[in-house]
Amino acid sequence: MSRAVTSVLERNVEPPGVDIRGAWTEAFHNVRAETERRAAPLSAEDQLVQSMADTSPTKWHRAHTTWFFEQFLLKPHAPSYREFDERFGYLFNSYYVAAGPRHARPERGLVTRPDAAEVTAYRAHVDRAVVQLLERADAAALAKITPVIEIGLNHEQQHQELLLTDILHAFAQNPTSPAYDSGWRPPRCERGNDAVDLPAGIHSIGFGGEGFCFDNEQPAHQVLLREGMIGRHLVTNGEWLKFMADGGYASHDLWLSDGWAKVEAEHWNAPNYWREIDGAWFTLTLAGLKPVDPAAPVCHVSYYEADAFARWAGKDLPTEAEWEVAARAGLLADAFGVVWQWTRSAYLPYPGFRAAAGALGEYNGKFMINQMVLRGSSLATPAGHARASYRNFFHPPARWQFSGLRLVDYR
Ligand SMILES: [Fe+2]
């Protein structure tokens, strides 16, 4: 989202020379088009599949992000709006209890109707209504609707990332290892294994600037960092291969009890999507099955694996505060755009956090239990979506995201 749009929103006034409706309309079109661009390589069959309860079909992502605008923007703010199909609220509400009953999450892949083409028509219907709402809004109406459009666009960007992580998981179930995009290439990364001093002392973390943030990034508050060294670089596949060769997946004493239970139950012996073929390791990427590059950052590891690796290395995962302070100081290479980085911070409310009233208050706050924070962003995160204060969160066994790690050393 452009700074012009966000600064206009902050002030809720239209500065001279700024076309506020045009800026929001352009931002809306750009984000909506990116979702369709990501879905374009996928057939209707691809778009239906749901390979586990944690993932969703592409078609569902396309429809759910559209329902979000219908439910939270058009129904409250566009009195003449007619729903595309009144059954879609039940099908495409994800977890908003205040928005009414909803279809069971693990059964999203069983919904063959509406088909992908009908979802395309649903998106076009809602797009027209949103643009019309923007065109006709006076200044007072704009002040009410633009915050909803802004969270709707940030929400859709989150689903753009999930669209890719979820289809990769689906393709991983296919013995032919399909490619989402045979021309896809991994992001370039800085090489090395340097560590840099953490700035010890009192620092502020959390979002305190202008523009958009999610509620879980606030309130900004002070934290105390102890002395230590944080990895400038991400942990690589080559380092992970040493962990594996040293019996990392066979040594119970390296693992948390819950993690070891996963190793045993699911026979983990390498990161997710790794396959050993004739003595060589390959991994499923968006471009299909590729040899594991020892110099590339390790990807598709769970919190349990990251934690065990840190213990094996005689180091620790950073806290989210250490990560944020180091990122703001420019100490981290590849902080963004490669892999989300596990921290050893539980996903908890910041001191003084209160979820907003109403259905959108369900966005983040009610998930602040039993999950761990990841920082940065990944190769699948849309450009401009993440920031230093951004808090991603997943359950400790999750390994289908583009998730890796860097280490901290307190000795
Ligand atoms: Fe959602």
pLDDT band for 357, please (50, 70, 90 cuts).
confident
Q: Which amino acid is at 344?
A: R
Bridge partners for 274 per DSSP: 283
Span from the CA of 151 to the centroid of ligand 1 (angstroms): 11
How many CB atoms sit inside 10 A of residue 111's CB? 17
Sheet of strand 274-277: strand arrangement: 274-277, 280-285, 288-291
Asked if pLDDT for residue 6 goes beyond 60, the answer is no
Cα 31 from Cα 396, distance rounded (Å):
30
Span from the CA of 255 to the centroid of ligand 1 (angstroms): 33
Span from the CA of 93 to the centroid of ligand 1 (angstroms): 8
pLDDT band for 13, please (50, 70, 90 cuts).
low
Span from the CA of 360 to the centroid of ligand 1 (angstroms): 11
HSE-CB for 62 with a 13 A CA cutoff: 27
Beta strands in 248-387 (DSSP E): 274-277, 280-285, 288-291, 340-346, 372-375
Each residue's pLDDT tens digit, 203-247: 999 999 999 999 999 999 999 999 999 999 999 999 999 999 999
Nearest to 266 by CA among 304, 312, 236, 309: 304
Name the least confident of 17-26, 132-141, 231-240. Answer: 17-26
Span from the CA of 114 to the centroid of ligand 1 (angstroms): 19
pLDDT band for 356, please (50, 70, 90 cuts).
confident
Those residues with Cβ within 8 angstroms of residue 53's Cβ, 6 or more apart along the chain or in another chain: 105, 106
Span from the CA of 156 to the centroid of ligand 1 (angstroms): 7
% of the chain surpassing 70 pLDDT: 96
Span from the CA of 406 to the centroid of ligand 1 (angstroms): 28
The answer to whether 306 and 406 are in contact (CB under 8 A) is no
How many CB atoms sit inside 10 A of residue 90's CB? 12
Span from the CA of 94 to the centroid of ligand 1 (angstroms): 6
Residue 318 DSSP code: P
Span from the CA of 88 to the centroid of ligand 1 (angstroms): 14
Span from the CA of 363 to the centroid of ligand 1 (angstroms): 8
Nearest to 207 by CA among 12, 371, 365, 350: 350
Asked if pLDDT for residue 353 goes beyond 70, the answer is yes
DSSP class per residue in 78-129: -TT---S-TTHHHHH--S-GGG-----GGGGGG---S-HHHHHHHHHHHHHH
pLDDT score at 315: 98
Q: In 302-393, which ranges are continuous DSSP H helix?
A: 303-312, 320-328
pLDDT score at 18: 78
pLDDT band for 389, please (50, 70, 90 cuts).
very high
Report every protein residue that has its C-beta within 5 angstroms of ion ligand 1.
94
pLDDT score at 9: 46
Each residue's pLDDT tens digit, 91-129: 999 999 999 999 999 999 999 999 999 999 999 999 999
Asked if pLDDT for residue 4 goes beyond 90, the answer is no
Span from the CA of 162 to the centroid of ligand 1 (angstroms): 10
Asked if pLDDT for residue 388 goes beyond 70, the answer is yes
Span from the CA of 165 to the centroid of ligand 1 (angstroms): 14
pLDDT band for 14, please (50, 70, 90 cuts).
low
pLDDT score at 12: 45
The per-residue pLDDT of the chain, averaged, comes to 95
Span from the CA of 152 to the centroid of ligand 1 (angstroms): 9
Bridge partners for 288 per DSSP: 285
Each residue's pLDDT tens digit, 51-97: 999 999 999 999 999 999 999 999 999 999 999 999 999 999 999 99
Cα 212 from Cα 84, distance rounded (Å):
30
